[in-house]
Amino acid sequence: MPRNRPHRASPEYGGADQPRHGSRSPQARTSFSDWLASDGAPWRPFDDKGVLIASRSEQPTTRPARTELFDKTCERQLVKHLKAACLWPARDRDRTWRLGDYSSYVLEFTASDFVSVSLKFWSEPDERTSSGTVSFAVSSSAWDRAAGTTAIDAARSEMLRDHGFEVTRRGNDEGQFKKVLLVPGGRAVRALAREAIAILWKVLDYDGATPLEFHLHLGTRLSAGFTFDGICAGDLLKLMQRWGFAATELEERPGQAPLIKSMVQDQPFLVAFVGEREGSRGEFGMIGLRTFMRFEGGVPEELPNAINTSFATVKASVDEDGDLVVQTPIILHGGVTAENLEMCFKVWRETLEEIGQGLE
C-alpha cells in the first residue's frame, strides 16, 4: 500500500494555492502541505502541481521589480516546497523516510518562441553526510543534441558557471547545466531558494509574462504491502494449503510451541514456531522448516557437506540419533509478505525434490 492515499492534494489538504502574480499576496497555507513540508515528507508517493506565479493579465510597460514578482509569500512557498523535497532529518530515518525514497521538484515557464525553461531539483538521502544530496539543474526544451548547442547564450552560460553549474554531455541529462550540493538543514534550503530566484530573475530573465509552474513529487523505489511481523500456526496452515501442501497441525502440547506436519513427495517435514511475540495470541517471529532422513549403515560422510555446498538456502548436518537433518529458518521480524513466504516454501520444496533425486 502507498504510504499516503492522495495522488494530488486538494487545497484543503495542502494542494496548490490559487494562482498569484506580481505582489498579490494570498493567505499562506496552514494545511496538510505545511505539516508535510515542515521537516521532510512522511507519506510517499505524493504529488503536488500548481502555479507559483500566475501570468500577468496585462503586459507591463516595464519589467516588474524582483521583490514585486518574487514577494515574501512566494519565497515562503518555495522554501516549503524545497524543504519537502530536500530535507531528510536523521531523527526521522525509517519513520518518515527510508533508503529508497527520493524527491523531485521542478519550476518551469515558457520563454519567447515557446521555449520551455526549467529548474529541476532531485534529492535522495545520504546517510554518510547526515543530510540530503541535491542535484540542481537548469535546462531548456531548445537543447539541440545534434548541433550540440544550448538555448542559453554565452553570457547566461557564464553566469550559470559562476553559480557552479557545468554542462552535462552524456545520458538523459545531456544539455543541462547541473551541479550537486548538500542541503543539511533549513538554512541551506532558504539559501537554495534564494539562488533559484536569482537564476530565474537575473540569468533567465523571468518577468511573469507566462506562469511559473511547479511540480513536487515525493517518490519511492520501495513497494509497500501487507506483511506478517509474526505469524500463528492457523494462518500459516491455511497459507500452506493454498500453496498446495498437504499440511496438518499436530496436537497441541502443553507449554510447547505448535508444529505443522507436511510432505514434499514422500519426504515428510516439520514446521516449527520459534520466538512467541510478547502480548500476542500465539504469533511467532520465526519459523523453521526441518526434515530428517535415515540411512541404513549411517549418513554418508560427505553428504552433509555436499548438500551445504550445492544449496545455499539450507543447512545439512547429522543429529545425535545419526539422522541427516536438513533445515532452514524464515525470520519474519520487520515484516514479510505472503508472497515472500510462498517463495521460501517453493524454494524449500524444490530443494527437497533435488536432494531426493540425487539420493535415488
Domain ranges in the chain?
Answer: 11-220, 233-359
* pLDDT tens-digit map of 189-202: 999 999 999 999 99
What percent of the chain has a predicted confidence (pLDDT) above 70?
Answer: 81
Tell me the C-alpha distance between 207 and 65, whole Å: 9
Q: Is the pLDDT of residue 117 over 50?
A: yes
Q: CB of 192 within 8 A of CB of 183?
A: yes
Give strand pairing partners of 293: 324
Work out the number of other CB atoms within 10 angstroms of the CB of residue 345.
20
Predicted confidence at residue 6, as pLDDT, reads 36
* pLDDT tens-digit map of 264-315: 999 999 999 999 988 877 899 999 999 999 998 899 999 999 999 999 999 9
Predicted confidence at residue 191, as pLDDT, reads 95
* pLDDT tens-digit map of 316-338: 999 999 999 999 999 998 899 99
Q: CB of 260 within 8 A of CB of 321?
A: no
Element (H, E) at 290: strand 284-293
pTM of the model: 0.64
Predicted confidence at residue 152, as pLDDT, reads 65
**Residue 172: pLDDT band by 50, 70, 90 thresholds?**
low
User: CATH assignment of 233-359, given 3.40.50.2300, 3.40.50.300, 3.30.1460.10, 3.30.413.10?
Assistant: 3.30.1460.10
Q: CB of 321 within 8 A of CB of 269?
A: no
Tell me the C-alpha distance between 118 and 132, whole Å: 21
Q: Is the pLDDT of residue 136 over 90?
A: yes
What percent of the chain has a predicted confidence (pLDDT) above 90?
Answer: 52
Q: Is the pLDDT of residue 260 over 50?
A: yes
Tell me the C-alpha distance between 184 and 22, whole Å: 32
Predicted confidence at residue 60, as pLDDT, reads 63
Q: Return the exposure string of 271-295: e unless at least 16 CB atoms fall within 10 Å of the residue's CB, then b.
A: bbbeebbeeeeebbbbbebbbebee
